[in-house]
């Protein structure tokens, strides 16, 4: 029997906005993607580039910790260790909220203003 796959709930093409005292993700698309838990960062990055059509030099991958809201900081995924840490935060049955940002687009610039960066 093969190991359970990780379920990534990938949102892209939208933006984080501050509304009614909270932060929400609006617009874009959301797709459920199954990946092996042994996935490398480059494998994840490649899959997310194909999914979102973001230029390879402009993709930013972040995830939301379990039991946290979007008001909390999103966690960046930038290397193999980050992928391992992300996957270890979630049980096999949980969906991992993953957000893809295009650093070359205006929507990424608004990300910093939502979180006060």
How many Cα atoms within 13 Å fall on the side-chain side of residue 42?
0
Domain 6-115 classification at class level: alpha beta
Quick one: what percent of the chain has pLDDT higher than 90?
56
Residue 108 is predicted with a pLDDT of 46
Res. 21: pLDDT tops 70: yes
pTM: 0.82
Predicted confidence (pLDDT) per residue in 39-57, tens digit: 999 999 999 999 998 888 8
User: What band does 1 get if pLDDT is binned at 50, 70 and 90?
Assistant: low
Q: At what angle do helices 41-52 and 80-88 cross, to 10 degrees?
A: 80
Q: Which residues of 32-50 are buried (b: 16+ CB within 10 A; e: fewer)?
A: ebebeeebebeebbeebbe
């Amino acid at each position: 029997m093969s190991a359970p796959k990780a379920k990534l709930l990938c949102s892209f093409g939208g933006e984080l906005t501050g509304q009614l005292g909270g932060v929400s993700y609006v617009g874009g698309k959301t797709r459920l993607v199954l990946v092996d838990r042994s996935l490398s960062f480059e494998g994840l990055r490649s899959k997310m580039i194909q999914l979102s059509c973001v230029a390879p030099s402009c993709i930013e991958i972040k995830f939301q910790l379990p039991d946290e809201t979007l008001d909390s900081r999103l966690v960046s995924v930038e290397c193999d260790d980050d992928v391992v840490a992300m996957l270890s935060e979630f049980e096999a049955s949980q969906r991992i909220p993953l957000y893809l940002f295009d650093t070359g687009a205006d929507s990424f610039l608004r990300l910093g203003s939502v979180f006060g960066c």
